[in-house]
Amino acid sequence: MTILLTGGAGFIGSNLTKQLLQEGKQVVCLDSLDSYYNPDIKWANVQQSLDHPHYHFHEGDIRDAELVNTLFRTYAFDAVIHLAARAGVRPSVQDPALYYDVNVTGTLTLLQAMQHAGVKKMVFASSSSVYGDSLQVPFTESDPSDRPLSPYAASKRAAELLCHTFHHLYGFDIFCLRFFTVYGPNQRPEMAISQFTDSILNEKPINVFGDGTTARDYTYVEDIVNGIIQSLENLRGFEVLNIGGSDPISLANLIQVIERVVGKSALINRLPMQPGDVQQTYADIRKATQLIGYQPTVRVEDGIKRFVAWYLVKYKTGLVI
């Protein structure tokens, strides 16, 4: 099987690439190595797979229709795993046009290239942020998702709708996976667990937005990778699936877990809640369990231990950028 993996140099994509290659898949990675965070981190991820005979890397933008169509003419893709996106809820408030362009126009460019090439299978990475600040927990796929709180969330919901349109018009098989706060090795440096771990280790203050009662359904990247692969193996029709840990933890308790694992206390700088943030996320995963056999296996406490162990190795060897 030959797969076009967009955003394959990033956090989730690099972990997914390793697993796909281990399973004998051919992976063609398209990634712009954008500057949202240090591109050297993403390039280091790419280099881990460059020598593999079934891995091909192309630097470029999913909005570049000529490039995307050339890839479809060059390779006989069986499916697309579309992870590429402009990431970050809070930064999207400052530059909504960029988020719309990358996340919506980029997705449309891919879907049109698939149509022209006769490729009809896609796994699309969506986000739990599409639920907005829902008071009904856990979040189920049938809940209304028409009140997003950030341009990032709105762009992900719009891309989901585009995916359904191409399913309806052209018979595409597409699963839209709503990821819930992913963490683990290769995690982006601006994400909470990365920042908190680094700051606590180095005895620097951490910024805590709100009173610590906000809660997130953290999902270990290994479970996310398994959910993507299980979706790929069961692609049929159009579905929206929650892929989460289904075990939310408050911000205050998360910090306590990191403190215990690191062995140091956090210095906390309390700040007001930021625009676009939601109070809680919590995945109802019954549909994903039923349709694809998804079941998270790594609890937050164990996942934090694994992440900190990885981080310490990278930190000591000078590879944390």
Q: How far apart are the first and last CA of the chain?
A: 34
Catalytic residue from among 36, 37, 131, 152: 152
For the chain, how many structural domains are there in total?
1
**How confident is residue 188, by pLDDT bands cut at 50, 70 and 90?**
confident
Q: Which domain holds residue 87?
A: 2-183+219-244+282-296
Helix, strand counts (H, E) of the chain: 12, 13
Residues in the chain: 321
C-alpha count within 13 angstroms, C-beta hemisphere, residue 247 = 14
Phi and psi torsions of 90, nearest 5°:
-65, -45
- To the query of whether residue 36 is one of the catalytic residues in this protein, the response is no
Q: What is the pLDDT of residues 174-187, one digit of tens each?
A: 999 999 999 999 98
308 part of a folded domain: no
pLDDT recorded at residue 321:
44
**How confident is residue 136, by pLDDT bands cut at 50, 70 and 90?**
confident
- Mean pLDDT of all residues in 259-286: 88
Phi and psi torsions of 37, nearest 5°:
-140, 170
Task: Determine the distance from the C-alpha atom of residue 133 to the mean position of all C-alpha atoms in its chain, rounded to a whole number.
Answer: 19
86 part of a folded domain: yes
Closest residue by Cα to residue 211 from 134, 282, 276, 272 = 272
Task: Determine the distance from the C-alpha atom of residue 166 to the mean position of all C-alpha atoms in its chain, rounded to a whole number.
Answer: 22
Q: What is the CATH number of the domain that holds 66?
A: 3.40.50.720
271 part of a folded domain: no
**Peptide bond before residue 138 is cis, with ω within 30 degrees of 0:** yes
44 part of a folded domain: yes
Select the more confidently predicted residue: 289 or 213. 289
Least confident piece of the model among 34-43, 68-77, 107-116, 223-232? 34-43
Q: What is the DSSP string of 208-224?
A: EESSS--EE--EEHHHH
96 part of a folded domain: yes
